[in-house]
Chains A and B, each alone.
Chain A
Amino acid sequence: MSLVQEIDYGTPASKSADTVTLTIDGNPVTVPAGTSIMRAAMDAGIQVPKLCATDSVDAFGSCRLCLVEIAGRAGTPASCTTPVGPGMVVSTQTERLKQVRKGVMELYISDHPLDCLTCAANGDCELQDMAGAVGLRDVRYGYKGENHLEQAKDESNPYFTFDASKCIVCSRCVRACEEVQGTFALTIQGRGFDSKVSAGGWGDDFLSSECVSCGACVQACPTATLSEKSLIEIGQPEHSVVTTCAYCGVGCSFKAEMRGEELVRMVPYKDGKANRGHSCVKGRFAWGYANHRERILKPMIRESIDQPWREVSWQVAIDRVASEFKRLQGTYGRLSVGGITSSRCTNEETYLVQKLIRGGFGNNNVDTCARVCHSPTGYGLSTAFGTSAGTQDFDSVEHSDVILVIGANPTDAHPVFASRMKKRLRQGARLIVVDPRRTDIVRMPHVEADYHLPLRPGTNAAILNALAHVIVTEGLTDEAFVRNYCDRDAFEHWAAFVSEPQNSPEVVGPMAGVSADDIRGAARLYATGGNGAIYYGLGVTEHSQGTTTVMAIANLAMVTGNLGKQGVGVNPLRGQNNVQGACDMGSFPHELSGYRHISDDATRTMFEKMWGRPLDHEPGLRIPNMFDAAIEGTFKGIYVQGEDILQSDPNTAHVIKALASMECVVVQDLFLNETANYAHVFLPGSTFLEKDGTFTNAERRINRVRKVMTPKNGMADWEITLAIAKAMGFEMPYSHPSEIMDEIARLTPTFAGVSYELLDRVGSVQWPCNEKAPLGTPVMHIGGFARGKGNFMITEYVPTDERTGPRFPLLLTTGRILSQYNVGAQTRRTGNVVWHDEDVLEIHPQDAEMRGIRDGDWVKIDSRAGGTALHARITDRVAPGVVYTTFHHPDTQANVVTTDYSDWATNCPEYKVTAVQVSPSNGPSEWQRGYNEQADRSRRIAPVAAE
């Protein structure tokens, strides 16, 4: 094993199709036009010395080491900023260049500490490398001149240190912050010799600045100036493994840089096709939970939730699960047990859990946490296009001219993709944001939405119908696209429907709280502004009309011809790392992998043959149905892998009641999560660092997850499921997750070509990957839809039954924040808490004023479902009448407040609209206190008896 070395070409690749041939040091080189001489030289295997150039940012030309000579041209141009020209004859090594480079290095070193031996970057320092490369032997200026050696360190960021004394002011960090991340938090302060890198303005440090801790600056730094604290503590890594981040649905590739079994740092991988070398604070830094002291490493059981946990062997725990489930099925029937697969786990693990349930339990009571996030995407897009997935790859955004973001907050929830989107916006693409809140993307440095439609929560479908109304009635339809690729009758019905006056902006606007002119302007822009791409998130799906809205989005893309090419499409931004994969793997109760209905005899028979088990042809229970059945008394046991249903599902009181009604709750997780408070068996899970498998991201990209350390709990998650199956008499013959994928490929036409061998060879593929597309499918529906003709469904706006009234006059909507992730089980156990250590309630100044609430006050928030208390933050990011909070902290339990209402087609909960009242409070509510007491009691672990 060794460190994965990536070549730094110095400047970004040129995308030109034309080529230029030149001679560098006597070697003929042919490169795309617009390539820098530096990069062309690298192509020819010639390394020109450099410090300020790195291929993640545009050439800057400040270090003056990369100078070259060009025949027939005066002077010594920088090879990073000079593009190649046809017939150019370039010399990279001449006597004059040697002298200049040595002179420049002599200057650098005259203002640099001479502590290489004890420096964190020792062995991985470009300054050190360059001093060697130019043959510097002496600093004739001495070391007593003016210098920066006494500059203070900034250690405010929890993950990295800024040591100004080591800074060479190459601006790579500043440029990475601007060009790669798009935050513009860093700048160069002062001039001349006083120039120094500064986060924020005067008096700011990294923590107080706008810095979002994405790590791009640390990645770009050629010296030890910006260094990971873990690297400073541990030292240089000795080997690395490429793997995939386990946080959001972007699916960033990272190099896990290791020293033995110890993780030194996670470094974004340039060849990662989703992230292209970028990262966010979570994937880059927030992996400390893997070693957190609260992580449970031994299986535990108990007879009732009033008892403390008892640590037992794996054998005892597995046997307990098997015997309990057998007992329950014996007593209450075959359908009385089920399980939940996790969008946090690998495709292989997810596949195994549904296989265990269908084949081992003999029923279809399997569901996945995608139920509560993107289930409407699957149903909606499948109905419209024939495939339950987004249509593009992330690279597509580089070709977009108009970007419509609806119900998504990419800079918080999908930060790495957001950076790529922002880059395109800075290049001039136009932006429309449909969101009740003024999210960051609406206005941030060098990005401003042309239209922000701050609609009332719950009116997405109406607004989309109004956008369609404008397009159809103003003659902006892409007639050729509709004629060639869409179902004509469906289109005619739909066009007549959206043209009706009740769908006009003038009617919808006042109802949704949006200016009719803005709706018209946005519609015209989307329809006529070039390549139009729609990106959406849970603000679309988590509604009573979630599926309707997904269909309305699909309609909008079809009517404008924005499908089947680069730069366009319908792009769901998936919440968790493997939402797409969990859905693909047959986690839903009604369908097998590849979205084939369980009632389809041919498909089912194929699985029965492969698995050697008969399968039930009837759909099973969805998660909310399981809760209802539990309370009714017909559902008694559940196996929950990697999901905290108590904290994440709506109407917490209802979930608690359901869990408390069951006789055997098995939780497999890293920590004693909230669900575990009601569990009887706890199976310690392994982290993504401890297992092999694959995740499928929001662009259908299947990425490899590679084991970089031994599972601390002794068993990988897939092995645990295997053991349960075996104990229940269902043998599954796998010795490695790759064999599970081979089985998936045999049973699933869209995965037919997928294998670990292929993934190791090409990095990643986007399904469908089969005979027709051996290397996968970046953009879908080129030249026609998967289902044949695109299907326009009528998307009549049906208001939710959840209504405001005198008792509950405000609308609550919920979301995520950059530094925390979903229920926070991982991120709350990392340094990320410095940015967000509690959920707060955002409330508009008017609503706060009416209630006598000041910024920072404790407030009570109540709905028809329940109430909790948290601190208030007064802000006009939310409109009057709307309040907003996050759901990262169990101390708040925001889902106590959310209700049972759900999407009509898929039961995806309506998290985004709850009628509430907000009132001043003295502190946490009675309910919170009672909950915390129960949690403390339930988490007790009995001391191990002396032998």
Chain B
Amino acid sequence: MSADNRLVIMANQMGRFFTPQRGVDSVAAIANHIGRFWDPRMRAAIVAHLAAGGAGLDEPVREAVGRLKEAKEAAR
């Protein structure tokens, strides 16, 4: 699998864990997990992938990656 494809799979896997959690903000949890465990290059790549249409990303994950992008921009 290609590197981008692999990131999509990884992100969707996280999504499938966090989405069923109850009483928590799943999107925030996904974004937090990516933020804490992914190398900046990987985060940049997934953000770029979303910008390029985000093919294959599940809905809550798209939202989480979107928040990552906002957070990154806010940090600038």
Interface positions of A (Cβ within 8 A of B) = 335, 365, 489-490, 493, 496-497, 544, 547-548, 589-590, 597, 599, 618-622, 625, 628-629, 631-632, 634, 793-794, 796, 798, 801, 900-902, 904-907
Contacts and interface: CB of A to CB of B under 8 A. Distances in A.
B1 A544 contact: no
Contacts of A628: 3, 6
A263 to B, nearest CB: 43
A619 B39 contact: yes
A497 B3 contact: no
A631 B3 contact: yes
Given A497-B22, A589-B39, A793-B21, A801 B16 contact: no
A625 B21 contact: no
Interface in B16-40: 16-17, 20-23, 33, 36-40
Interface stretch (B7-15, B47-55, B62-70): B7-15
Chain B binding site: helix, strand, loop or mixed by DSSP? helix
Contacts of A625: 38-39, 42
Contact of B13 (A620, A794, A798): A798
Contact of B1 (A622, A793, A900): A900
A618 B22 contact: no
Nearest to B11: A904
A794 B17 CA distance: 8
Contacts of B23: 489-490, 493
A618 B44 CA distance: 13
A798 B17 CA distance: 8
29 contacts: A335-B39, A493-B21, A493-B22, A496-B22, A547-B17, A589-B39, A597-B36, A618-B39, A618-B40, A619-B37, A619-B38, A619-B39, A620-B39, A621-B39, A621-B41, A622-B39, A625-B38, A625-B42, A628-B3, A629-B41, A634-B41, A796-B17, A796-B20, A798-B13, A798-B17, A904-B16, A905-B37, A906-B37, A907-B10
B41 A590 contact: no
Contacts of B17: 547-548, 796, 798, 904-905
Given A628-B3, A798-B16, A590 B36 contact: yes
Nearest to A588: B37
A798 B16 CA distance: 7
B23 to A, nearest CB: 5
A599 B42 CA distance: 17
Contacts of B10: 902, 904, 907
Contacts of A497: 20, 22
Contacts of A548: 17
Contacts of A905: 14, 17, 33, 37
A391 B75 CA distance: 39
Interface of A is mostly: loop
A900 B6 contact: yes
A769 to B, nearest CB: 27
Contacts of B16: 796, 798, 904
B13 A544 contact: yes
A628 B8 CA distance: 14
Contacts of B9: 801, 901
Q: Nearest 8 A-B pairs (CB), nearest first?
A: A904-B13, A493-B22, A796-B20, A628-B3, A798-B16, A621-B39, A618-B40, A794-B21
Contacts of A902: 10
Contacts of A631: 3
Contacts of A490: 23
Nearest to B22: A493
Contacts of B38: 619, 625
A902 B10 CA distance: 8
Contacts of A597: 36
B20 A794 contact: yes
A61 B51 CA distance: 81
Contacts of A489: 23
A726 to B, nearest CB: 28
Nearest to B17: A904
Given A798-B13, A905-B17, A335 B22 contact: no
Contact of A904 (B14, B22, B41): B14
B26 to A, nearest CB: 10
Which interface residue of A590, A628, A796, A901 has the most chain B CB atoms within 10 A?
A628
B57 to A, nearest CB: 15
A335 B41 contact: yes
Most buried by B among A590, A597, A632, A904: A904
A907 B7 CA distance: 11
A801 B6 CA distance: 12
Q: Residue among B13, B14, B22, B41 with the most chain A CB within 10 A?
A: B13
Nearest to B40: A618
Contacts of A620: 39
A590 B37 contact: yes
A154 B52 CA distance: 72
Nearest to A635: B41
Contacts of B20: 497, 794, 796
Contacts of B36: 590, 597, 599, 619
A717 B38 CA distance: 30
A625 B39 CA distance: 9
